Amino acid sequence: MRSDSVLLLCLILLTAPLVGFVLQYAFGRRLPGQGAWLTVGTIGVSLACSIVLAVGGIQWGTMKGVFHLGPWDWLPAGADFDWQVGILVDGLTAVMLVVVTGVSFLVHLFSVGYMKGDPKYPLFFAWLQMFSVSMLILVLADNLLHLFMGWELVGLCSYKLIGFWSEKPDPCNAARKAFITTRIGDLGMLLAICILGGAVGSFDFDKIFTAVAAGAIGDTWLLLAGLGLFFAAMGKSAQLGLHVWLPDAMEGPTPVSALIHAATMVAAGVYLVGRMAPMMLPDVMTVIAIVGAATALVAGLIALAQNDIKRVLAYSTISQLGYMFLGLGVGAWHAALFHLTTHAFFKALMFLGSGSVIHACHHEQDMRKMGGLWNKLPITGTTFLIGVIAIAGVPWITSGFFSKDGILSGAYATNPALFWVGLAGAVLTAFYMMRLFAMTFLGKPKDAHVHDHAHESPAVMWIPLAVLGTLAICAGWGTWHEAMLAPPESVVAEGSIQTLHDEHHHAGFVMPLAIAAALIGLLLGLLVFWKFAARVADWKKPFRALETALANKFWFDELYDKVLVKPAYRLAELFRFVDSRGVDGLVNAVGRGGVKTGDASGAHDRHVVDGLVRMTGALCQGFGGMFSMMQSGRVRFYLSLSVGALALALLLERIF
């Protein structure tokens, strides 16, 4: 393909949804069908362009398959500093483009049916379009700054869409929590931008890698930059510590959860780390692997004890993202990003499937009230089962098998301890997924009312399910992914990213173990939650403490509330107090003192003889008034004052 046709395709696939957003936002209500089909069309155009791009650039694995368009000058902030924007299309970008536009297209289609009758129907599609634009900006970026812009914009769209039903407090709080938590992560990104940009004089990926390879950045700074980038990725991809927002984000409409909080935006963290992997020091890689493995395990455990169908899926997403980071951390670059792709398909499938279930059950999300839906929802049930076996990694046919196996064998080669953690996570994944499936579709109906009214969704909703189901199976076939997701070479430590050859060359017992893990988990889940569902309660008894801990998600929310949120508000109150009493109080006191001295000098003028005495008195009074302002009698004010004075003294000493 010629680079100007690539440019043309990129521009079309970017502008189509942007036009859709503008039209839909401004005139959505007046368009036929409230504009929903228009947005399906624009995102369809994007999808077509992406597919042409992905298929057209056949030589993805080679340097010839990389298109670097532009860059164009954007921000003339400094002479020896280029702030540019540009487009980078390589195999990774092409895969991401197809994933983003593909899932987005199917989600649009699904929403046409799912959101029917919502009073803000057109607005929903407008923000879906804007999200697609932002995500495409992120993916097409050829530099860190440009990527960061997309990164922040997807945050905005996520905020808008989680809080789509913002008349109610829960979605509002969830949206706010999501935005602020990811923003805390963004601090790391800003730090990395400052470090890398400052040292290199450019944000361009290639230029950064070249400069790092040439040793332009000291090891400490490089370490900080790497950790900063990973911290940002942790926020966006909800890794352990910053994961608290993702389960809450399920307050948003289900198609949003499928698109943003399962398939695309949350994977942006993985994409970022994958993109920047060549400059990650081995220490950073180790941290990434450990955090990823811990997340995979802990989130899997928590998923076991959730009863809300979407929350189970949310924790499962966190856990799978943990796998991807584990893969990146141990150097299994190709497997990690391949898992990103397959996960996007089967997790979007399951979210949309859960949407179909929720739709059928009249917005009931509690699995304890479902059961026996298999006969009522045959298509949803079948596609959901495909999703379950794909995420569990049933061997040789499902896509999840290939990608997860790659991660596990990569982990075994680099860090066997993490391999065992990952394996335990794999058993858990299969187990809780089967639990979800059994509780929802198998067994006896638990709530007759919900069961009686359940009905299969319309075609516009089950067609996306069928397409995703096909992809969840077939995406792992063939070797397309090896050509498109060719691992880059690390510029800081040779061999810290495994080549495709290394990845294939692994210990012989890894695959049998992975297969066993999947099958044992599935079988166990089927037995426990279907065959012996009645006795589950008895079996759970000895694990009461564990269950409480899991049901409460290990008290992360409560901890953060106590340690971060409340103190922040208290600090704000304290600062307000200091500002109004301390800083402003002093000003007012000076003012009052001034008035008093003014009075006194007036008196001096009038009574020259007596004036001196009076003036002294009034002066004293003036200053007394001024100082008495400070004698508030409040211990905390005194303490703040003395600590402040001490700090000031130390500071002055340092400066002079």
Partner 1 sequence: MLSLLVFLPLAGLLACWAAPAKLARVINVVTCGAVLALSVSVWMQVDYGAAGYQLEESHAWIEAVGINYHVGIDGLALSLILLTTFVSFVSAIASWKIEKQVKGYHMMFLLLLTGMLGVFVALDLFLFYVFWEIMLLPMYFLIGIWGGPRRQYAAIKFFLYTLFGSVLLLAAVILVVLQTDTWSIPQITAMAREAMTNGDTAGILGSVGLSLAAFIGMFIGFAVKIPSFPFHTWLPDAHVEAPTPISMILAGVLLKMGGYGLIRIAYPFFPTAAVDMGLMVSILSVIAIVYGAFVAMAQTDFKRMIAYSSVSHMGFVTLGLASGTEIGINGAMYMMLAHGTISAMLFMIVGVIYDRAHHREIGRFGGLAWVMPKYFIFASFAFFASLGLPGFSGFIAELTTFVGAFNGPHQTWAIIALLGVVITAAYYLRTLQKVYLLETPDVYKDASQYPDLTRREWAVLLPLAAVTLYMGIIPATAMDMYSGFIVNHLVPVLNVSVGLLTGGLV
Partner 2 sequence: MTLLLAIGLNEYLVVGAALFCAGLVAVLSRRNAVAILIGIELMLNAANVNLVAFDHWRPGQIQGQLFALFVLVIAAAEAAVALALILNVFDTSDRIDVDEIDTLKG
Interface positions with partner 2 (CB under 8 A): 283, 286-287, 567, 570-571, 574, 627-628, 630-636, 639-640, 643
**Binding status of residue 223 toward partner 1 by CB under 8 A:** no
Per CB under 8 A, the segment of 76-84, 268-276, 280-288, 496-504 that binds partner 1 is 76-84
Cα–Cα distance measured from residue 442 to residue 94, given in angstroms and rounded to the nearest whole number: 39
**Binding status of residue 463 toward partner 1 by CB under 8 A:** no
Q: Cβ closer to partner 2: 375 or 631?
A: 631
Contact present, 307 and 330 (Cβ < 8 Å): no
Taking the complex as a whole, the smallest distance from the CB of residue 183 to partner 1 amounts, in Å, to 5
CB count in 10 Å sphere of residue 125: 29
User: From residue 575, how far is each of 109, 571, 586, 637 by CA, in Å?
Assistant: 50, 6, 15, 11
Cα–Cα distance measured from residue 445 to residue 245, given in angstroms and rounded to the nearest whole number: 32
Contact present, 126 and 28 (Cβ < 8 Å): yes
Q: Cβ closer to partner 1: 15 or 173?
A: 173
In the list partner 1, partner 2, none, the entry touching 478 (Cβ below 5 to 8 angstroms by class) is: none
**Binding status of residue 27 toward partner 1 by CB under 8 A:** no
Taking the complex as a whole, the smallest distance from the CB of residue 292 to partner 2 amounts, in Å, to 15
Taking the complex as a whole, the smallest distance from the CB of residue 493 to partner 2 amounts, in Å, to 12
Taking the complex as a whole, the smallest distance from the CB of residue 557 to partner 1 amounts, in Å, to 16
Taking the complex as a whole, the smallest distance from the CB of residue 570 to partner 1 amounts, in Å, to 9
Per CB under 8 A, the segment of 185-193, 268-276, 456-464, 597-605 that binds partner 1 is 185-193
Taking the complex as a whole, the smallest distance from the CB of residue 137 to partner 1 amounts, in Å, to 9
Cα–Cα distance measured from residue 656 to residue 648, given in angstroms and rounded to the nearest whole number: 12
Taking the complex as a whole, the smallest distance from the CB of residue 225 to partner 2 amounts, in Å, to 15
**Binding status of residue 647 toward partner 1 by CB under 8 A:** no
State the burial class of residue 260 (Cβ atoms within 10 Å of its Cβ: 0-12, 13-18, 19+): buried
- Interface characters, 527-566, with partner 1 (x: CB under 8 A): ----------------------------------------
In the list partner 1, partner 2, none, the entry touching 145 (Cβ below 5 to 8 angstroms by class) is: partner 1
Taking the complex as a whole, the smallest distance from the CB of residue 634 to partner 2 amounts, in Å, to 5
Q: Which helix (H) or strand (E) holds 14?
A: helix 3-27
Taking the complex as a whole, the smallest distance from the CB of residue 153 to partner 1 amounts, in Å, to 6
Taking the complex as a whole, the smallest distance from the CB of residue 640 to partner 2 amounts, in Å, to 6
Give 140's DSSP letter.
Answer: H
Out of 41, 66, 69, 74, the residue judged to bind partner 1 by CB under 8 A: 74
Residue 204, strand partner residues: 143
Q: Cβ closer to partner 1: 75 or 417?
A: 75
Q: Cβ closer to partner 2: 54 or 284?
A: 284
Q: Cβ closer to partner 1: 78 or 542?
A: 78
In the list partner 1, partner 2, none, the entry touching 633 (Cβ below 5 to 8 angstroms by class) is: partner 2
Contact present, 249 and 261 (Cβ < 8 Å): yes
Per CB under 8 A, the segment of 68-76, 288-296, 310-318, 541-549 that binds partner 1 is 68-76
Per CB under 8 A, the segment of 246-254, 423-431, 480-488, 577-585 that binds partner 1 is 577-585
Q: Cβ closer to partner 1: 194 or 493?
A: 194
Q: Got the DSSP string for 330-359?
A: HT-HHHHHHHHHHHHHHHHHHHHHHHHHHH
Cα–Cα distance measured from residue 144 to residue 635, given in angstroms and rounded to the nearest whole number: 49
Contact present, 380 and 114 (Cβ < 8 Å): no
Q: Cβ closer to partner 1: 202 or 341?
A: 202
Contact present, 292 and 234 (Cβ < 8 Å): no
Cα–Cα distance measured from residue 273 to residue 230, given in angstroms and rounded to the nearest whole number: 6
Q: Cβ closer to partner 2: 352 or 411?
A: 411
Cα–Cα distance measured from residue 230 to residue 346, given in angstroms and rounded to the nearest whole number: 25
- Is the four-CA dihedral 267, 437, 469, 37 of positive or negative sign? negative
Out of 477, 579, 610, 650, the residue judged to bind partner 1 by CB under 8 A: 579
**Binding status of residue 187 toward partner 1 by CB under 8 A:** yes
CB count in 10 Å sphere of residue 131: 27
Out of 531, 562, 576, 607, the residue judged to bind partner 1 by CB under 8 A: 576
**Binding status of residue 568 toward partner 1 by CB under 8 A:** yes
In the list partner 1, partner 2, none, the entry touching 100 (Cβ below 5 to 8 angstroms by class) is: none
Q: Cβ closer to partner 1: 82 or 502?
A: 82
Cα–Cα distance measured from residue 357 to residue 276, given in angstroms and rounded to the nearest whole number: 39
Helix axes 309-330, 416-441, angle to 10 degrees: 160
Residue linked to tokens 């000291």: 218
In the list partner 1, partner 2, none, the entry touching 608 (Cβ below 5 to 8 angstroms by class) is: none
Cα–Cα distance measured from residue 438 to residue 522, given in angstroms and rounded to the nearest whole number: 10
Cα–Cα distance measured from residue 580 to residue 587, given in angstroms and rounded to the nearest whole number: 10
State the burial class of residue 382 (Cβ atoms within 10 Å of its Cβ: 0-12, 13-18, 19+): middle
**Binding status of residue 655 toward partner 1 by CB under 8 A:** yes
Amino acid at 285: M
Contact present, 324 and 347 (Cβ < 8 Å): no
Per CB under 8 A, the segment of 149-157, 381-389, 398-406, 442-450 that binds partner 1 is 149-157
State the burial class of residue 651 (Cβ atoms within 10 Å of its Cβ: 0-12, 13-18, 19+): exposed
Q: Cβ closer to partner 1: 176 or 446?
A: 176
In the list partner 1, partner 2, none, the entry touching 73 (Cβ below 5 to 8 angstroms by class) is: partner 1
CA-based Rg of the chain, rounded to a whole angstrom? 29
Taking the complex as a whole, the smallest distance from the CB of residue 624 to partner 2 amounts, in Å, to 9
Cα–Cα distance measured from residue 442 to residue 493, given in angstroms and rounded to the nearest whole number: 51
Query: Site for partner 1 (CB under 8 A): how many residues?
Result: 51
Cα–Cα distance measured from residue 355 to residue 255, given in angstroms and rounded to the nearest whole number: 7
Extract the tokens encoding 497: 């990213």
Give 136's DSSP letter.
Answer: H
**Binding status of residue 153 toward partner 1 by CB under 8 A:** yes
Cα–Cα distance measured from residue 40 to residue 32, given in angstroms and rounded to the nearest whole number: 13
Residues that bind partner 1 (CB under 8 A): 73-79, 81, 145, 148-150, 152-153, 156, 159, 163, 166-169, 172-173, 176, 179-180, 183-184, 186-187, 190-191, 193-195, 197-198, 568-569, 571-573, 575-576, 579, 583-584, 587, 591, 651, 655
